Amino acid sequence: MTQTSDNATWLTQAAYDQLKAELDYLSGPARVEIAKKIEAAREEGDLRENGGYHAAKEEQGKQELRIRQLTQLLEKAKVGEAPSDSGVVAPGMVVTVAFDGDPDDTMTFLLGSREVAGDDLDIYSPQSPLGTAINGKKVGEDATYELPNGKNATVNIVEAKPYSG
């Protein structure tokens, strides 16, 4: 669904629409709701010991941060098609790899952006060491990448299918 390169984030039309709808809600109706919560809490009196006021202000801060994140993401977004089901690893695909060629030691994850995954699937960025190593590899091929401890790990691409949401 997504791929980031050269400061651009590639999104399918569905992913773009989903993120745009979230941004529209947060910057419209949600802003009005949080402002009402803050005003109601402010009317309760002493703000230093007003838990409702402080909670609403914290919620507002988190909401404004999410609005900024979505705005930046969508400004740089390039909308395109989902990857093809060609067996070649690309951003937007669910990939299964086997570690060190062991068919019993596998991991399945989405190669893409956390912003578009809606389920419990692990997500690896295309810019991560693993993501960089497997991007463009075909099913059956091996890829080697460097672990945080400086050692190398090798994985075999078992499966690569487009993410369906």
pLDDT of 148 > 70? The answer is yes
Confidence of residue 51 (pLDDT cuts 50, 70, 90): confident
Which of 24, 58, 80 finishes a domain? 80
pLDDT of the residue at 92 = 77
Confidence of residue 30 (pLDDT cuts 50, 70, 90): very high
How many distinct structural domains can be found in the chain? 2
Q: How far is it between the farthest Cα atoms of the chain?
A: 67
Whether 88 maps to a domain, the answer reads: no
Q: What CATH code is carried by the domain that includes residue 35?
A: 1.10.287.180
pLDDT of 143 > 90? The answer is yes
Q: Percentage of the chain surpassing pLDDT 70?
A: 82
Q: What CATH code is carried by the domain that includes residue 102?
A: 3.10.50.30
Whether 85 maps to a domain, the answer reads: no
